Amino acid sequence: MFPLSFFGQNDLSQKQVLEDYTIFKEILLNGHPSLYEYTSKTEWDSIFGLFEQKDIKKTRTSNDLFRSISSIADNVKDGHLIIHHPKMDTVPPLFPLLLKIIDDKLYTDTDDFGIPVGTEITSIDGNQSNILIQEFMKYAPSDGYNLSKKYRQMEKEFGILYYYEYGEKESYTVKYTVNSSEVRTIEIVPKSFESIGSRYPNRNSHFAMYHGNTNRVEHFKSTLAQKWPFVYYIDSINSGVLTVNSFGLDPKEFKSRLVELFKEIKKKKVANLILDIRQNIGGYRINAINLFSFLTEKPFKQRIAESAVTDTLPKERYVIHSMSDYNEFFKTYFVSVDQEGGRWILTKDHAQAEMMPYKSPFKGKVYVLIGGNTFSAASAFALNAKNSQEITLIGNETGGGYYFHRAQYSALYELPNSKILVRMPFVHIDKYVLDKSVPKGSGILPDIEVEQTVEDLIDGIDSQLDYIVKHLNEKQKKHGNTLHDR
């Protein structure tokens, strides 16, 4: 539900605040591979100046600094640039309602505390819901101007984000509406992290009832919490649903499981394959490549260039974890590249040779379900699907960028006084795209956008999957049981 490391704060002197802030600023300025893509140098000067001349004076704790650094980092618009709150030994009691964001409003996602599921929450402690959403944006990084990833993260972490912004509370005054107009008020006491976590599988937006499972915990464990790919079938529409929640799995085992799953799918002779990557935040790129190889009959591409602005890690003494030695990575990765204009640009994709179709790919119609949690390597997969004329994307914009993202190599820094953690990517990746009319700053856009409605939330209906089921049912009525939509 929340990150596995939790958070506290300690008092800081102005000297300590300045030291930590300066380290963070120098890491950004000297290492980030595309700091000026969305925010100009003039704008950055103004952002830094505001903190240095004004905000630093009211920064007295690690929590204050965390809020400021999160706000500054949000201007990079990079989903891989992540600011982590300092760890702490115990988690305070938190705001306990589990919420869903629909049309920029907050709705309850469970029947708890006497508030029915699907009820609009209008304010908490006098803070209007739309203002809360805006304030929490800085804690949820995404690529470009994307909001869907921010919304999905805010839904998962609302209680801890409220704590970041407002601190620990003895109770919360919650206003909500019933029957579209009647406003009611309730006092809710905070609950332990464990208590909130135990209720997390009960969310209506996990769609247990839609899948005919009355045991919500069991449904959660076997679907959303299932890391390995799995398939089930909807015989009424002659379709298989392949769910791939993660690419962060052993590549050899992942490929082996795909081979077995596609053998099973082929044996079932389904006409349509619905591939669900809405919960896939990424992982190993090769897994995304291997999955797409089962869906295409042609060689494919993902990247046109990769670049970096430094051949050494800035402020390396503050790095507490990295995937490998950066100097070795740089020498290996950019070995044949000359520096041009302060940037090393690689135009050869190291993984291009892997991007070939599997010997017997799926030949039916493919639908791919995408959303805000679709990120990093999963967004790269979604872009491959978008570039294909034969695959249809359904759902919401992905959290990962369309034209480019920053990743490949990242390092985790710990600021010495506040203990704030900064995870920073060092490679800018330009992607292979066919449709160049997509606005800069977008994620991968669905071919057919389907939003979760409040009515479907209340009824526990998966709006996006249900759209495909209804679509295929209609086609089946027109064409009979030989439905083959390709």
Q: Which residue has the tokens 């990150």?
A: 3
In percent, the amount of the chain with pLDDT more than 70 equals 97
| Predicted pLDDT of residue 9 | 56
Rounded distance between C-alpha atoms, residue 187 and residue 174, angstroms: 6
Q: How many CA atoms lie within 13 A of 232 on its CB side?
A: 6
By CB atoms closer than 10 A (0-12, 13-18, 19+), residue 114 is exposed
Q: What is the pTM of this model?
A: 0.94
Contacts of 223 (CB under 8 A, 6+ apart): 206, 211, 243
pLDDT at 8 over 70: no
Q: What are the pLDDT digits (tens) for 279-292?
A: 999 999 999 999 99
By CB atoms closer than 10 A (0-12, 13-18, 19+), residue 328 is exposed
Q: Which residue has the tokens 């856009």?
A: 445
Confidence of residue 4 (pLDDT cuts 50, 70, 90): very low
| Predicted pLDDT of residue 483 | 46
Q: Which helix (H) or strand (E) holds 44?
A: helix 41-53
For the chain, domain boundaries:
99-200, 204-314+335-410+428-482
Average pLDDT, the chain: 94
**Angle (CA) 243 399 277, round 5°:** 5
Confidence of residue 6 (pLDDT cuts 50, 70, 90): very low
Q: What is the CATH topology of the domain spanning 204-314+335-410+428-482? A: 2-enoyl-CoA Hydratase; Chain A, domain 1 (3.90.226)
396 CA to centre of own chain: 12
Q: What are the pLDDT digits (tens) for 361-416?
A: 999 999 999 999 999 999 999 999 999 989 999 999 999 999 999 999 999 999 99
| Predicted pLDDT of residue 441 | 98
Q: Three-state SS string across 353-382, please?
A: HHCCCCCCCCCCEEEEEECCCCCCHHHHHH
- Percent helix, percent strand, percent coil in the chain, to nearest 5: 40, 25, 40
Q: What are the pLDDT digits (tens) for 232-251?
A: 999 999 999 999 999 999 99
Q: What is the CATH topology of the domain spanning 99-200? A: Pdz3 Domain (2.30.42)
Both structure tokens of 236: 């009424």
The domains spanning 99-200 and 204-314+335-410+428-482 adopt the same CATH topology: no
Q: What are the pLDDT digits (tens) for 27-64?
A: 999 999 999 999 999 999 999 999 999 999 999 999 99
Contacts of 252 (CB under 8 A, 6+ apart): none
